[in-house]
């Protein structure tokens, strides 16, 4: 009897999976949600220590909700995209206000939470609650692009189509579907990587359309690379770092010191204030949000 793609990936996962804390049996829905938000665009290696510290300090949504948003931004440290910290804090308050402090399990309820989009809602529903939902992230899209379509890269996301393609691969059994979802993500993270894929270790080597085609170089539309040096994003990071590193409010002079070009500096500071990442005190100094 021929195996399925899902069965092959799941069998590989059983022996190759990393031991990650958010996959432990004692990781509840809140822990899974925290891990998923931290893992948005941030590598596992850097998430690990922040995740542990975060859950020790805020083991429940209610615990986080009781503290100030600035505490979340500071604890976020240098994980990057600090708006995620603000949203996770708002998420905790929403869970308390609208769900009695319990992470909801329905997709539409999860989707309504701040910072929770299509990927994270499905990941929490599947991994924390064991529900049968397709989970689509960049790893999954790359594995499908290669194994199914024979393309070297996934190209720009097409949400509806991506979801349909993964749904087509999803085992009918709920437990198997969940194991498959986490397994494909792991395969994309460890073997079917963006650069230097380890095809020799891949459980799908025999059925991979990309491999059969001789692993042709990708020629489709490319995702526009993100620049960083010299952008507003870099300036925002430098400004916020001043607040994060210091114990309390700082002067405008201290902020001005991190970027010499005044127009861009002003724009970045204004954006941070607008985002709620920074708060301006009556005395003119700046602080993390209360």
Partner DNA sequence: TACACGTGGGC
Partner DNA sequence: TGCCCAAGTGT
Binding site for DNA (CB under 7 A): 20, 22-23, 35-36, 39-44, 46, 78-83, 87, 114-121, 123, 137-139, 142, 156-159, 185-186, 188-189, 193-196, 223-228, 231-234, 236-238, 240-241, 271, 277
Separation between Cα atoms, residue 53 and residue 71, nearest integer Å = 13
Least Cα distance to 176 among 56, 22, 14 occurs for 14
Report in angstroms how near the CB of residue 202 gets to DNA at its nearest: 15
Separation between Cα atoms, residue 26 and residue 70, nearest integer Å = 28
Long-range contacts of 92-100 (CB under 8 A, 24+ apart): 92/58, 92/61, 92/62, 92/64, 92/65, 93/65, 95/61, 95/65, 96/61, 96/62, 96/65
Least Cα distance to 134 among 173, 158, 169 occurs for 169
Separation between Cα atoms, residue 255 and residue 265, nearest integer Å = 9
Separation between Cα atoms, residue 275 and residue 124, nearest integer Å = 26
Report in angstroms how near the CB of residue 282 gets to DNA at its nearest: 25
Q: Which is nearer to DNA, 35 or 60 (CB)?
A: 35
Report in angstroms how near the CB of residue 180 gets to DNA at its nearest: 14
Q: Which is nearer to DNA, 170 or 183 (CB)?
A: 183
SS3 at position 279: strand
Let me know if 123 is exposed, middle or buried by CB neighbors in 10 A (0-12, 13-18, 19+): buried
Q: Which is nearer to DNA, 156 or 206 (CB)?
A: 156
250 forms beta bridges with 286
CB 113 within 8 A of CB 139: no
Report in angstroms how near the CB of residue 48 gets to DNA at its nearest: 10
Which of 36, 153, 165, 186 is an active site residue?
36
Question: Is residue 36 among the annotated active site residues?
Answer: yes
Residues in the chain: 290
Beta-strand ranges (E) seen in 26-173 are none
Q: Which is nearer to DNA, 2 or 111 (CB)?
A: 111
Report in angstroms how near the CB of residue 78 gets to DNA at its nearest: 4
Catalytic machinery residues: 36
């Amino acid at each position: 009897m021929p195996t399925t793609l899902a069965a092959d990936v799941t069998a590989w996962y059983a022996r190759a999976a990393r031991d990650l804390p958010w996959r432990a049996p004692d990781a509840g829905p809140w822990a899974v949600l925290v891990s998923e938000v931290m893992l948005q665009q941030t590598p596992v290696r850097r998430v690990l220590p922040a995740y542990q510290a975060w859950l020790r300090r805020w083991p429940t949504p209610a615990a986080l909700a009781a503290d100030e948003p600035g505490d979340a931004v500071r604890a976020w440290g240098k994980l990057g995209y600090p708006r995620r910290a603000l949203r996770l804090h708002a998420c905790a308050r929403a869970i308390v206000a609208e769900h009695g402090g319990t992470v909801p399990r329905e997709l539409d309820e999860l989707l309504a939470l701040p910072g929770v989009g299509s990927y994270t809602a499905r990941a929490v529903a599947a991994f924390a609650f064991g529900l049968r939902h397709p989970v689509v992230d960049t790893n999954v899209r790359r594995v499908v692009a290669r194994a199914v379509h024979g393309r070297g890269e996934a190209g720009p996301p097409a949400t509806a189509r991506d979801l349909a393609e993964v749904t087509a691969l999803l085992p009918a059994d709920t437990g198997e579907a969940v194991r498959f979802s986490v397994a494909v993500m792991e395969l994309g993270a460890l073997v079917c990587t963006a650069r230097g894929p380890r095809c020799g270790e891949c459980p799908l080597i025999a059925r991979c359309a990309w491999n059969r085609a001789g692993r042709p170089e990708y020629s489709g539309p490319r995702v526009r690379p993100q620049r960083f040096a010299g952008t507003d994003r870099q300036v925002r990071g430098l400004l916020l770092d001043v607040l994060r590193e210091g114990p309390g409010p700082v002067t405008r002079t201290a902020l001005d010191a991190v970027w010499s070009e005044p127009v861009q500096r002003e724009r970045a500071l204004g954006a941070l204030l607008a985002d709620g990442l920074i708060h301006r005190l009556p005395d003119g100094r700046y602080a993390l949000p209360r």
